[in-house]
Amino acid sequence: MPLADRVAHMWFLRLALVGLAVVLRAVVPRTTAGGAGTLAGGTAAYLGVSLSLQWAWRALHRRHRGLVLFGAMLLVDGVYLTWASYLTGGASSPLRYLFVLHLVGVVLIGSYRTGLKVVAWDSLLLFAALRLQEAHVIARVGSSSGAEQQQLTAFVAVCWLVTLVAAAFSSVNERELRRRRGDIEALARMATDLELLDDPNAIACAALDRIAGTFAFDRAILIAGRAEGDLAVMAAHGLDGLDGLNGLKGTRCRPGAGAGTVALRAMAAHRTLLESGIDPEADPWLSAALPGGANLIVTPLSADGSPFGALVLEHGLRRGSRVDQQAVAMVERFASYTALALRNAWLLEQVTRSAATDGLTGIANRRTFDVAISRELARAGRASEPVSLLMLDVDHFKKLNDIHGHQTGDELLRQVARILAGHSREFDTTARYGGEEFAVILPSCGPTESVEIAERLRRLIGEADSAVAVTVSVGVATFPGDAPDAVTLIGAADMALYESKRAGRNRVTAASTPPGGVSAPAAEHAAPPGNASPAVSAGAADWLPTPIT
């Protein structure tokens, strides 16, 4: 509870104490230490001092000094109650029960520690008042000294008992509140951490580490999959050694015999399951991942009502550990944030992939090609390495569309893209340049090697098993020999492609740089009937292909 709220509640408690003091004073037949005017004047002074301290607290607006003034107000409360009890009969005064009410209020509004300090202060004041009476410093009230001592001791004991009982319940409540606040703060920190990540695997690892650390789980596994039934381990915590962690990640989780894995059951039920152990027959993969696993909490991961994974958490039930309903509910909140972060990361990947790939063929689109070729030429310029570009065009594609239909044409484009992507190097860029044209960027690849690669790709496409036979024409250009930049390199490869189509299609033509410094087609690999070995031809004009030996 904020300090401002505690000060306000204590002020209302003081007003209640003053009201009860006035009522109880009315039932006291007489006082031996002063009249009603004395009590009224003291009460007014008490309220004045309390108001002054409260105004001083509001003026300071500093937590440290505010706590000091809050404690000072409690000390003033004790002085007032002791003085009012003395005026109305000492240890036998009906106002002494206001001590009990005040102590309970302090424990509940302040804290159990503050309550223990206040009861010690009140005890000191009560015994001090009795000693002052025995020393004849103030007038004696009540019965004989011995009886007064016994009554006061008994009453102080009651005050301590009530305070200790209230403090015990309050401490339990405070611990629970602190625990819940700690869980919420950990949840907020995890949400902040996940917002900074966009990789699904990094999100899974960060979330699982935060959950395991917050709830002291010994071992934990996060499994998830984008497609229904295709679950895999994305993150693991607490397994023996780094090899155990890395070895488990990516493991496919298939249902076993019987009811299937506990993760699948939790996902199907849309609720958290508590399991005392692992059934090796139903959960062979989980039994192998968590040998001897017990006291499991299995929480499904779902977004928009659709489960796509689960958290498998093992609790050791050590001293101070907890698996109660509140903890399970908080784990479910952590799981909800994790599921939302994973789903958002997957959606971001999908959007990014859609923006970078061609929707029909699934390879890079023109925008990605433009970025990639600029990047590769800049890198090659710094490293003084060549970069080759293949431009490919499907022969007679419009005619194929007119005869066999657009669906067949689309499937042919997808087949060509699969062959290009499947037979290129990992760091090559295969893109759909536009329509039936494709491009392949070959980093660190010179003129001779690029022609060989182009010829191999041309032959693979022509020999592919498809409903309709298809061939391609290819143009090849290399940086920096054929062009100094991306624009001229594309132009050189396109000119070579045009020459392949002019010379009869289904062939490879390489660009060359003539003495004048203008890129032109330099060599042509043409496929004779039957896809036999390509022949090399030469023209008389300067721009026509020249033999390559």
Active site positions, annotated = 436
Side chain identity at residue 467, one-letter code: A
Q: How many CA atoms lie within 13 A of 441 on its CB side?
A: 27
The owner of tokens 């290819």 is: 474
Strand partners, 473: 393
The 10 Å Cβ neighbour count of residue 374 is 12
Side chain identity at residue 516, one-letter code: G
Strand partners, 311: 222, 299
Phi, psi of 295 (to 5 degrees): 55, 60
Q: In the numeric block, which tokens belong to residue 367?
A: 């925008």
CA distance 91 to 88: 9
Side chain identity at residue 21, one-letter code: A
Strand partners, 235: 222
The owner of tokens 């200790």 is: 164
Q: In the numeric block, which tokens belong to residue 230?
A: 């295709």
Q: Maximum CA pair distance of the chain?
A: 139
Q: What is the DSSP string of 208-239?
A: HHHHHHHHT-SEEEEEE-SSTT-EEEEEEES-
* Angle (deg, nearest 10), helices 145-195 and 325-356: 20
The 10 Å Cβ neighbour count of residue 496 is 31
The four Cα atoms 344, 346, 350, 353 give a dihedral, to 10 degrees, of: 120
Residue 435 CB burial class (10 angstroms; 0-12, 13-18, ≥19): exposed
How many helices and strands (H and E) does the chain possess? 16, 13
The Cα angle at residue 371 between residues 365 and 377, in degrees rounded to 5: 125
Peptide bond preceding 300: is omega within 30 degrees of 0, i.e. cis?
no
CA distance 497 to 508: 8
Phi, psi of 385 (to 5 degrees): -120, 155
399 to each of 196, 414, 439, how far by Cα in Å? Answer: 51, 17, 22
Q: Which residues contact 71 (CB under 8 A, 6 or more apart)?
A: 114
CB contact at 8 A, 208 and 341: no
The Cα angle at residue 182 between residues 245 and 222, in degrees rounded to 5: 25
CB contact at 8 A, 119 and 163: yes
Side chain identity at residue 112, one-letter code: Y
Q: In the numeric block, which tokens belong to residue 239?
A: 């397994």
